[in-house]
Amino acid sequence: MEILIQQLVNSLSVASVTILIGMGITLIFGLAGIVNFAHGEFLMIGGIATWFFVGMGLNFFVALLLAMVVVGALGFVAERCLFRFTLDRPMNGFIMSIGLSVILQHVVVRVFDEFQKSTPDPLGAVWVVGDVHIIAMRAVVVVITAIVVAITYFGITRSRYGLALRASVADQATAELMGIPVRRYVTGVFVYGSILAGLGGALMIGLFPITPFVGSVVITRGFVVSLMGGLGNVNGAVLAGLVLGLVDGLSAGYGYPEWTDAYSLVLMIVILVVRPQGLLGGTLGPKAS
Amino acid sequence: MRFGITLGLPLVAALLSGIATQTALAEDGEIKVGVVAAESGSFVSAGNTIAAAAKLATQQINDAGGIKVAGKTYKFKLFIRDDRTNVDTAIAAARELVNDVGVSAVWGTESHDFSVSMAKITGSAKVLQFTGNSSLGGVLSDESVAKDGWLHYTFQTEPQEWQRSTSTAKGVLSLVGPKLKTPPKHSVVFVGNDATGQYLSENYVTALKAEGQTVDLVKYPPDTTDFSPLLTRVKGLNPDVVHFWYNGDSTLIAFPQALKLGVAPAYFLFGVDPGIYKERGLKADQPVTMSCVPMCWGSAPFQAVKDYFEKYFALGAAKGPQSSVSLLYYDYFFMYAKALEQVGKLDDPDAVVAALEKMQYQGVVSAVPLSFNDHHQVTFATEVCLAEPGSSDKFKCAVEAPPATAPKAN
């Protein structure tokens, strides 16, 4: 029984980082219409930046905030200098993002090196309840993710900006006629999604070491979550992230462990066949006139 | 006239000296050797050590005056290629080195299945290949290393897997046993599910069973970063010892997670040097053993090995989890150089192979002279170390001699 409870606890923490990655992708893809395959590298840079700032002697959580700023700035530059020119041709943007991901990997390897980077566990504590081990940092990751999800959800569904954003997605031309600066919203969404990637990377390096190549591993899961949940749908990303976390935890615990990744992908295929719009439905990006 | 002689003699002398220098330069030549290694990608920790060892060995040989072959002096010139832990890139690099650059020998690569693919290119071009992959044992045979065999020019520079697995298993259990309340009986081998992991773990499981262990094998997807669900499964098996086998980078991600989840009363980390254990400040309340491939950086058994690592890092090599892997490549530059000198010509790879087959060479990696068996494989010992509980830098180590025969599972 303890093992089952431990697996459920694990699933929640596995799901948290996945949700952060998936949420960034789902916002950028679903609301800005940009397929950014370099999103995983944005996450990696968030982790590396955190490692760098911690190495300079900063507190982990201060480093985390700085890493979010760094990746947000990176997202701003990428959107303004690159993706802005591909908004009418998403496939060009997609291919460009693949190139960008390789370039970012090599830049990090050149500036630092190709080896694993790690930070000391920011909290270090482990709470043992019965025989269930709850790692304090993982609990913090879950809490931070919950807060970010809540902010994002209410920002999109309840705020004036969220309303304008949704209007832009529904009908770009009409939104522009109504005075909504759609391009600026696209930039804003891209930067916000990038900040989430930075946060994800920072939290990830708080949990375990990362390498300059980790982005290519996590990006697949990010897209799985965003497609499974429904593009642009924050609730969908959360639900899909939780489902994936549960599938990972239970399949690793009770299925063939070496097939853990395959279970998630099979589930995604089934969902996309049965519900092409994702679990909770979504968008396909801004509809150009 | 006198003026002419005064001015002319030094001029003639200078001209003659210039001609002599030019003749010496003309006599000096270079021997092109290639290195194919993962300098990026998932196998980088092992791969980068090949290039670093190659740089050190060739620098030492060249600085000592190079190689004398048939009265001429030659120096090694290295051509290093990054295979990016990608088999297609490794094959392309091997083709380029063999066909375009014209190397006479290739070192690498560390990724097991890549080496076999590369051997098909080097072998047909009669280019020697030195590769530290024990999985070559699956294809090195009487037929394949015979003069017309496809692996005639390939040499396996680490011991056969059953030898390494057996000495490792013996070393781990003998160091861990006294630290536990009861002797360990149940082991779980936790391994990446790729070609190398499958091959290596098969031998290690057999070796553990031969030592009387009940063994469960748990495989994980190779790119796993969050190991907590898999480690919880391992914990549910109630092991006495969890053996993290074989990728040092993955192990360094998984091991701290295992400690936090309280997975087992003892651990073994394959291919993790004590040096990196100390550098990372790793610490456990439980006994943690680690084996090196083959002699440990951070707790070297012989002075020669200590000296080697000093020079290795002084040359700028990175302090990675598997720095000791470099020892699988270093000595063989000197063996190759010696073979070329013995043969006395550069254009006879068959004679070089024959010389290597007969050679005894006292290198750094082994306390006894290195030699290749009939299947072009070497034999030497493995060092296993125990990190004292609660310590990052106190190690007790043992050098386990390789067994003479393959183990049979009980």
The owner of tokens 């049965």 is A274
B109 preceded by cis ω (within 30°)? Answer: yes
| Poorest-pLDDT segment among A13-17, B65-69, B330-334 | A13-17
| Beta strand spans in B261-381 (E) | 267-270, 288-291
DSSP state of B288: E
- Cα separation, A230 vs B214, whole angstroms: 47
B299: CB partners within 8 A, 6+ apart: B274, B275, B383, B385, B395, B397
- Cα separation, B76 vs B33, whole angstroms: 7
B313 burial via Cβ count (<10 Å: 0-12, 13-18, 19+): middle
What is the pLDDT, as a whole number, of residue B3?
A: 43
- Cα separation, A59 vs A69, whole angstroms: 16
Q: Which positions in chain B have a beta carbon within 8 angstroms of at least one beta carbon in chain A?
A: 39-42, 44-45, 48, 193, 218-221, 223-230, 232-233, 235-236, 249, 252-253, 256-257, 260-262, 280-281, 318, 320-321
What is the pLDDT, as a whole number, of residue B90?
A: 95
Quick: pLDDT tens for B313-357: 999 998 888 899 999 999 999 999 999 999 999 999 999 999 999
Q: Is the pTM of this model over 0.90?
A: no
Dihedral angle of Cα A133, A137, A142, A146, to the nearest 10 degrees: 150
Mean pLDDT of B98-114: 91
- Cα separation, B149 vs A227, whole angstroms: 52
What is the pLDDT, as a whole number, of residue B310?
A: 95
What is the pLDDT, as a whole number, of residue A33?
A: 80
At B19, the pLDDT band (50, 70, 90 cuts) reads very low
Helices and strands, counts by H and E, chain A: 11, 2
Across chain A, what does the average pLDDT equal? 89
At residue B240, φ and ψ (nearest 5 deg) are: -85, -40
- Cα separation, B297 vs B274, whole angstroms: 6
What distance in Å separates residue B309's CA from the closest CA in chain A?
19
| A249/B229 CB distance under 8 A | yes
CA dist list (Å): B269 to A208, A254, B321, B386: 17, 25, 11, 10
- Cα separation, B327 vs A64, whole angstroms: 39
**Does residue B108 sit in helix, strand or coil?**
strand
- Cα separation, B360 vs B364, whole angstroms: 13
- Cα separation, B180 vs B265, whole angstroms: 8
Quick: pLDDT tens for A46-105: 999 999 999 999 999 999 999 999 999 999 999 999 988 888 788 888 899 999 999 999
The owner of tokens 């290694």 is B37
Q: Which positions in chain A have a beta carbon within 8 angstroms of at least one beta carbon in chain B?
A: 3, 6-7, 10-11, 13-14, 17, 105, 109, 113-116, 118, 120-121, 126, 128, 133, 135, 138, 204, 207-214, 217-218, 248-254, 257-261
Quick: pLDDT tens for A226-242: 889 888 888 898 999 99
Is residue A43 a contact partner of residue A21, using CB atoms and an 8 Å limit?
yes
| A261/B256 CB distance under 8 A | no
| Poorest-pLDDT segment among A110-124, B15-29, B300-314 | B15-29
| A210/B225 CB distance under 8 A | yes
The interface predicted TM-score of the complex, written ipTM, equals: 0.84
Is residue B48 a contact partner of residue B83, using CB atoms and an 8 Å limit?
no
* Domains of chain B with CATH codes: 29-157+331-364 (3.40.50.2300), 162-301+383-400 (3.40.50.2300)
Which residue from A minimizes the CA distance to B226?
A: A14
Q: In which order are the strands placed within the sheet that holds B67-69?
A: B67-69, B72-82, B29-37, B105-108, B128-131, B154-156
Quick: pLDDT tens for B74-103: 999 999 999 988 899 999 999 999 999 999
Residue type, A126: V
At A39, the pLDDT band (50, 70, 90 cuts) reads very high
Element (H, E) at B351: helix B349-358
**Does residue B298 sit in helix, strand or coil?**
coil
Quick: pLDDT tens for B230-244: 999 999 999 999 999
Q: Is the pLDDT of residue B20 over 50?
A: no
Element (H, E) at B407: none
**Does residue B251 sit in helix, strand or coil?**
helix
